[in-house]
């Protein structure tokens, strides 16, 4: 009996020490309500996943900055699926006194619009959405950034890395094949990977790319195995448009350079992290808050650019040469000046031909009818005018040099 | 001899209880729920620092009762879960292990969407909702009756069969959405037609009323109808059922048709009355959770209403805690896991009693017990 009591006491002591240990290593700043309690504006946020997702973390970090910068109250709801739960979350935020509610995932759009129709006195904004400029709901707005420019710059770094490999004799010029883990085969992803590819191609002309989809925004296992499949298929550099650490982890394990999106993974993947790009959401949030405070109208559709500080190239990894860094700087200056266009039609072909005309689906309808001529010529450059007619990407052209493999 | 026995007697023994008073059983169950909430608070304190212990309680209740709309959501989510639980209950009472409610509800939802896609705007919305009801029930019944026929005719394993039908249904939905929405992230937008109207400015009221009525009807069906009696006889013993002249095959198929009707109704409530859209994860595991809920409620509709309410309370509250305390999405799953673990675990204490070794008067007591 005594022995049993001693054993029990020991077990209890162990449990308590573990519990205390766990509590001690928690930073205690994980709460998802930021900013002063008595702020004049409450900013509600609906996130598809939590901070384990690089995509959502980018939005939440920006919201933390906003609370600090603009002294607003921010309430974040995480893990809200693209279903009626999104409507319920939006309405719940209205009940909590939010003046503006922001949702972060493409599939949230219709549910946010439903809430916006019901509560005309509250403003609603949505990232990556496509309908605000045509659906006539006054208090519903879309916002996105010309992130394709950021991806183009990240692509330049990738191109330099490929050139290094070719020069070192690790691969031949023909073996310069990149892999890309995409979530879903539609404009936002296609625009992203094409701009990344064109960035790489601008310095490494022989580059090709293979794209595979996971059919999910956040599926760590699928993203990892997809990246592994690409590496198996001979891809010597990987980038991704999916939200978990799956692809970067696969790259670190295989020793394959990785270009990320949303989050610099240099600490988790020190050997293989090259660079990445992200949208800085703080300027858009700040714009929304300013509009509310000044009583000015919020644009139906807002596009962030380098000029608004919305498009960011992430910090460079250890393996990036000074030459590449300088090239990124030069290209960024040219993009800002408008002398360089990412989708310059002379730089890519479709079925062997240069594009001279393309009808893009800018105004969403049920049948997804292409409705807007997207090829423009300015200062002698003919280019695909991405993010000019609306903020969310509509470049969905499949260009030569990129192979799409869709198993799902 | 008695001395030898008492020396070796274990610290406690487990004894089967035959009939525990109902009140006492409920005291044990409620104690389990209270302990589950306390453990949940402890876990959140471990995960997010000491202050989270108190925040757990306030967050839990605030998340469920904080605003009128949250209370409405509590009843709405309870209604959907209860509707699916009512659908699985007759089959389980019959010992037909239908774990395909997930897929059956999803097929019901698909039936609705098909109607809206091809009839929406062409006919009156009320007529459309009626057609949606017919179609969702038809789709769902097909999904539930196929395994029932195989079971009745060829004795196939219904557990595996219904489970696999779930995956077929999910793929069918994914495929249909891809056909309707060729561009985008595989999300069907909200449907413009066939939406249940709001009552008094609030959504979901119709759902709650329909499920309340169904709960009463199912209670009457189990308690007073010949069908309800027959299916419990089949569940108790198939041979007895055959002996008294019950057509077992007919009862199996008939009961699964009933399951299908209720699953189809749940699909209609989800698409027409809740989401106004469909995705392969619209049912969100509730087809499986409903089985636990039905079982905990001993397949009695009023008790199931209570257990569904309890589950939704914990789930909805824990989600709110996760926001306030700042723990990730998985937190509410941890808490509902703890809840189920303790509540199912407490059934052990209802069915068995623990007898501790008496401290004094060893000889006399042990003799007594042996005699007992």
State the pLDDT at residue A25: 39
pLDDT at B64 over 80: yes
User: Of A63, A71, A103, which is closest to residue A86 (Cα–Cα)?
Assistant: A103
Contacts of A111 in chain B (CB under 8 A): 190
DSSP letter (8 states) at residue A316: P
- DSSP of B210-255, one letter per residue? HHHHHHHHHHHHHHH-HHHHHHHHHHH-HHHHHHTT--HHHHHHHH
User: Of A64, A196, A65, A188, which is closest to residue A127 (Cα–Cα)?
Assistant: A188
User: Of A284, A331, A326, A290, which is closest to residue A309 (Cα–Cα)?
Assistant: A284
Question: Which ipTM score applies to this complex?
Answer: 0.82
Give the strand pairing for A73-77 and A402-405.
unpaired
Which token pair is B36? Answer: 């589950």
State the pLDDT at residue A7: 64
What are the distances in angstroms from CA B62 to CA A26, A47, A75, A142, B339?
Answer: 24, 21, 15, 31, 19
Contacts of A368 in chain B (CB under 8 A): 182-183
Shortest distance, CA A33 to any CA of chain B (angstroms): 7
CATH topology of domain A26-127: Rossmann fold (3.40.50)
In this predicted model, what pLDDT tens digit does every residue of A98-152 receive, in sequence order? 999 999 999 999 999 999 999 999 999 999 999 999 988 999 999 999 999 999 9
Contacts from A362-371 at CB under 8 Å and sequence distance 24+?
A362/A389, A362/A390, A362/A394, A363/A133, A363/A134, A364/A130, A364/A131, A364/A134, A368/B182, A368/B183
Is residue A184 within 8 angstroms of chain B, CB to CB?
yes
More confident residue, B215 or B192: B215
Domain that holds residue B133: 16-352
Q: From A1, which residue of chain B is nearest by alpha-carbon distance?
A: B11
Q: How far apart are CA B166 and CA B103, in angstroms?
A: 4
Q: How far apart are CA A93 and CA A344, in angstroms?
A: 43
Q: Cβ of B190 and A26 within 8 Å?
A: no
pLDDT at B243 over 70: yes
A245 within 8 A of A49, measured Cβ to Cβ = no
A238 within 8 A of A230, measured Cβ to Cβ = yes
End-to-end, the C-alpha distance of chain B in Å comes to 18
User: Of A208, A173, A241, A206, which is closest to residue A400 (Cα–Cα)?
Assistant: A208
Mean pLDDT computed over B226-253: 93
Contacts of A82 in chain B (CB under 8 A): 187, 279
Mention every residue, 6+ apart, whose C-beta is less than 8 A from residue A265. Answer: A245, A248, A258, A273, A276
Shortest distance, CA B306 to any CA of chain A (angstroms): 23
Average pLDDT, chain A: 90
Determine whether domain A147-280+311-337+395-404 maps to CATH 3.40.50.2300. yes
Q: How far apart are CA B254 and CA B271, in angstroms?
A: 26
In this predicted model, what pLDDT tens digit does every residue of A148-166 receive, in sequence order? 999 999 999 999 999 999 9
B362 within 8 A of B6, measured Cβ to Cβ = yes
pLDDT at B250 over 90: yes
B101 within 8 A of B291, measured Cβ to Cβ = yes
Q: Cβ of A217 and B185 within 8 Å?
A: yes
Mention every residue, 6+ apart, whose C-beta is less than 8 A from residue A63. Answer: A34, A43, A45, A74, A76, A281, A285
Confidence class for position B51, pLDDT limits 50, 70, 90: confident
pTM to 2 decimals? 0.85
Is residue A22 within 8 angstroms of chain B, CB to CB?
yes
Q: How open is the CA angle B140-B141-B147, to the nearest 5 degrees?
A: 105
Is residue B322 within 8 angstroms of chain A, CB to CB?
yes
Which of A50, A83, A183 minimises the CB distance to B277? Answer: A83
Q: Which of residues 89-128 of A touch B (CB under 8 A)?
A: 91-92, 95-96, 106-107, 109-111, 113-114
Kind and range of the H or E run holding B92:
helix B68-93
Confidence class for position B76, pLDDT limits 50, 70, 90: very high
| Residue B371: inside a domain | no
Mention every residue, 6+ apart, whose C-beta is less than 8 A from residue A327. Answer: A156, A160, A203
Which token pair is B333? Answer: 């799953």
What are the distances in angstroms from CA B131 to CA B116, B140, B188, B279?
Answer: 9, 14, 20, 21
Alpha carbons within 13 A on the beta-carbon side of A117: 11
Looking at residue B341, which CATH number applies to its domain? 1.10.3470
Contacts of B11 in chain A (CB under 8 A): 1, 4
Contacts of A361 in chain B (CB under 8 A): 183
Shortest distance, CA B24 to any CA of chain A (angstroms): 29
Q: Cβ of A92 and B322 within 8 Å?
A: no
User: Of B66, B41, B71, which is closest to residue B55 (Cα–Cα)?
Assistant: B41
| Residue B248: inside a domain | yes
State the pLDDT at residue B371: 45
Contacts of B284 in chain A (CB under 8 A): 81, 83
Is residue B149 within 8 angstroms of chain A, CB to CB?
no
Contacts of A48 in chain B (CB under 8 A): none
Domain count, chain B: 1
Q: Cβ of A92 and B69 within 8 Å?
A: yes
Give CATH 3.40.50.2300 domain extents, chain A: 26-127, 147-280+311-337+395-404
Q: How far apart are CA A274 and CA A294, in angstroms?
A: 42
Which of A30, A83, A95 minimises the CB distance to B326? Answer: A30
Is residue B275 within 8 angstroms of chain A, CB to CB?
yes
| Residue B366: inside a domain | no
% chain A with pLDDT above 70: 92
Confidence class for position B18, pLDDT limits 50, 70, 90: confident
SS3 A272: coil
């Amino acid at each position: 009996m005594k022995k049993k009591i001693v054993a029990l006491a020991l077990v209890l002591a162990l449990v308590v020490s573990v519990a205390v240990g766990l509590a001690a290593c928690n930073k205690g700043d994980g709460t998802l309500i930021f900013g002063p309690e008595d702020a004049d504006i409450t900013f509600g946020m609906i996130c598809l996943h939590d901070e384990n997702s690089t995509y959502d973390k980018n939005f939440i970090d920006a919201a933390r900055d906003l609370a600090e910068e603009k002294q607003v109250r921010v309430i974040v709801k995480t893990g809200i699926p693209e279903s009626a739960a999104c409507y319920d979350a939006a309405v719940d935020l209205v009940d909590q006194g939010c003046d503006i509610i922001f949702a972060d995932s493409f599939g949230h759009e219709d549910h946010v619009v439903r809430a916006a129709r019901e509560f005309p006195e509250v403003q609603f904004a949505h990232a990556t959405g496509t309908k605000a400029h045509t659906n006539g709901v006054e208090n519903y707005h879309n916002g996105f950034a010309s992130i394709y420019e950021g991806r183009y710059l990240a692509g330049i770094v990738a191109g330099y890395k490929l050139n290094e490999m070719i020069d070192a004799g690790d691969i031949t010029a023909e073996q310069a094949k990149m892999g890309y883990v995409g979530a879903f085969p539609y404009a936002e992803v296609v625009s992203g990977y094409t701009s990344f590819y064109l960035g790489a191609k601008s310095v490494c002309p022989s580059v090709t790319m293979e794209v595979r989809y996971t059919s999910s925004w956040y599926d760590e296992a699928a993203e990892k195995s997809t990246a592994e499949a690409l590496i198996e298929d001979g891809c010597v550099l990987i980038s991704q448009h999916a939200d978990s650490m799956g692809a970067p982890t696969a790259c670190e394990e295989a020793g394959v350079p990785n270009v990320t999106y949303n989050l610099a993974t240099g600490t988790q993947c020190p050997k293989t992290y090259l660079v990445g790009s992200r949208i800085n959401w703080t300027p858009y949030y700040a714009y929304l808050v300013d509009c509310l405070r000044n009583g000015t109208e919020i644009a139906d559709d807002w596009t962030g650019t380098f000029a608004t500080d919305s498009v960011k190239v992430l910090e460079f990894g250890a393996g990036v040469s000074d030459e590449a860094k300088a090239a990124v700087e030069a290209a960024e200056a040219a993009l800002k000046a408008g002398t360089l266009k990412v989708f310059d039609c002379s730089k890519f072909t479709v079925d062997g031909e240069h594009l001279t005309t393309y009808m893009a689906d800018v105004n969403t309808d049920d049948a997804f009818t292409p409705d807007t001529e997207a090829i423009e010529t300015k200062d002698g450059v003919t280019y695909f005018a991405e993010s000019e007619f609306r903020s969310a990407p509509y470049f969905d052209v499949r260009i030569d040099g990129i192979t799409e493999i869709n198993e799902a | 001899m008695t001395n030898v026995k008492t020396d070796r007697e274990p610290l406690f023994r487990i004894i089967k209880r035959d009939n525990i008073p109902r009140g006492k059983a409920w005291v044990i169950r409620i104690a389990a729920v209270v302990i589950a909430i306390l453990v949940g608070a402890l876990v959140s304190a471990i995960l997010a620092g000491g202050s989270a212990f108190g925040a757990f309680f306030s967050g839990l209740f605030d998340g469920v009762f904080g605003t009128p709309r949250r209370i409405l959501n509590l009843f709405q989510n309870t209604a959907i879960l209860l509707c699916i639980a009512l659908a699985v209950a007759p089959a389980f009472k019959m010992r037909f292990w239908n774990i395909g409610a997930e897929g059956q509800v999803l097929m019901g939802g698909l039936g609705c969407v098909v109607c809206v896609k091809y009839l929406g705007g062409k006919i009156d919305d009320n007529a459309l909702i009626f057609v949606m009801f017919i179609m969702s029930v038809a789709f769902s019944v097909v999904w539930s009756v196929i395994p029932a026929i195989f079971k009745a005719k060829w004795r196939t394993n219904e557990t595996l069969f219904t489970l696999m039908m779930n995956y077929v249904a999910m793929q069918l939905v994914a495929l249909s959405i891809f056909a309707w929405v060729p561009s985008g992230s595989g999300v069907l937008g909200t449907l413009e037609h066939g939406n249940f109207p709001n009552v008094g400015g609030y959504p979901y009221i119709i759902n709650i009323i329909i499920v309340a009525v169904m709960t009463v009807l199912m209670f009457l069906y189990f308690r007073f109808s010949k069908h309800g009696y027959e299916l419990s006889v089949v569940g108790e013993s198939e041979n007895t059922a055959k002996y008294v002249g019950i057509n077992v095959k007919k009862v199996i198929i008939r009961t699964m048709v009933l399951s299908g009707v209720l699953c189809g109704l749940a699909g209609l409530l989800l698409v027409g009355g809740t989401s106004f859209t469909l995705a392969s994860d619209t049912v969100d595991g509730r087809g499986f959770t409903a089985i636990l809920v039905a079982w905990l409620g001993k397949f009695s509709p009023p008790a199931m209403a209570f257990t569904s309410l309890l589950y939704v309370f914990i789930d909805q509250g824990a989600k709110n805690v996760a926001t306030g305390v700042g723990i990730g999405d998985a937190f509410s799953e941890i808490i509902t896991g703890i809840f189920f673990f303790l509540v199912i675990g407490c059934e052990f204490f209802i069915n068995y009693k623990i007898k501790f070794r008496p401290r004094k008067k060893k000889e006399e007591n042990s003799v007594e017990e042996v005699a007992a």
